[in-house]
Structure 1
Amino acid sequence: MTTRILFVCLGNICRSPSAEGVFRALAAEAGLEVETDSAGTSDWHVGNPPYAPMQAAAKARGFDLSDLRARQFTARDFEAFDLIIGMDDSNVGSIERLRPAGSQTPVQIFTDFTSETGMDHVPDPYYTRDFDQTLDLVQAASLGLIARLS
């Protein structure tokens, strides 16, 4: 059975597309059947590719994000996905405000899937400029999520 996972951040140009790209590559290596997507809680960047510095940092690690395009999270995503993953508490709050009555789709923060980083959220590299930290966290959490799904 294929698990459908949605990664969500604010603008869908740094954290969530890197989470999607890294997770799908690592899941494929692990032989896991997953469908992935990413979205933002805002509509600021709809239709745009991931932020160029984020793409460059990911590519340096062997992850290609170039096929991804930003979209906005909607209430319909609760029906379309088995698991929704936010990058921080603010993202999770924005997601939960759109939850339809009766929806049981789990929503978690990505760092819940790893304890090795000591972080309780994935900081936004658009503001911190630390793209490598984001990728470190995303890779660790991706491996933890893969272990949990296996």
Structure 2
Amino acid sequence: MPTRILFVCLGNICRSPAAEGVFRALCPEAETDSAGTASYHVGEPPYGPMQAAARARGLDLSDLRARQFRGADFGSFDLIVAMDASNLENIEALRPAGSETPVRLFTDYAPESGADHVPDPYYTRDFDGCLDLIEQAAKGLKAAL
């Protein structure tokens, strides 16, 4: 059975599409998607500087488009992965009654990093550092499946 994983950040233009792109390259048998808890960028491609940083690592994110997380996602995915605690709380606020779909922080899969969240490069401007952490967490997630 293929694993269905949804990666979630705030706007779905930096962290979560990068996580989706990294993970789909690492684990192509998994079904992946990404979403944002906010609707700021619905329909937009990933942020240009994030696409450029990913492209420099051989990852093409250009086919992805931002969408907003919705409660129905709990029924469509086996695992929902949040980039930080604030987004995890926003995801949990939409959990339908009776849903048991696990929601985890992405950094839980990279405990050796010491990070408790994936910093948002839209604000930090550290796209490579973000991708380094995403790659580390993606490897940990794949090993955990």
Specify the TM-score bucket, using the shorter chain as the normaliser. over 0.9
Specify the code of the residue in structure 2 equivalent to 1:15: R
Give identity over the alignment, percent: 72
Q: Confirm or deny: 8 A CA contact 1:48 1:69 kept in the other structure.
A: yes
Deviation string, structure 1 residues 73-105 (Cα, Å, up to 9, x no partner): 000000000000000000000000000000000
Q: Which of 51, 56, 80 does residue 52 from structure 2 map onto?
A: 56
In 2: Cα distance, 1:56 partner to 1:34 partner: 24
In 1: Cα distance, 2:14 partner to 2:112 partner: 22
Matched, 1:104 2:91: no
Count residues with an aligned counterpart.
145
Q: Confirm or deny: 8 A CA contact 1:21 1:64 kept in the other structure.
A: yes
Unaligned runs of 5+ in 1: none
RMSD: 0.5
TM-score (norm. length: structure 2): 0.99
Specify the code of the residue in structure 1 equivalent to 2:53: A
Q: Confirm or deny: 8 A CA contact 1:116 1:140 kept in the other structure.
A: no
Unaligned runs of 5+ in 2: none
Specify the code of the residue in structure 2 equivalent to 1:19: A
Shift in Å, 1:117: 1.3
Q: Indicate the residue corresponding to 1:27 in structure 2.
A: 27
Q: Which of 40, 49, 55 does residue 44 from structure 1 map onto?
A: 40
Q: Confirm or deny: 8 A CA contact 1:13 1:50 kept in the other structure.
A: yes
Q: What secondary structure, in the 3-state scheme, does the structure 2 residue paired with 1:147 have?
A: helix
Matched, 1:73 2:79: no
1:62-141 map, 5 Å: 62-141=58-137
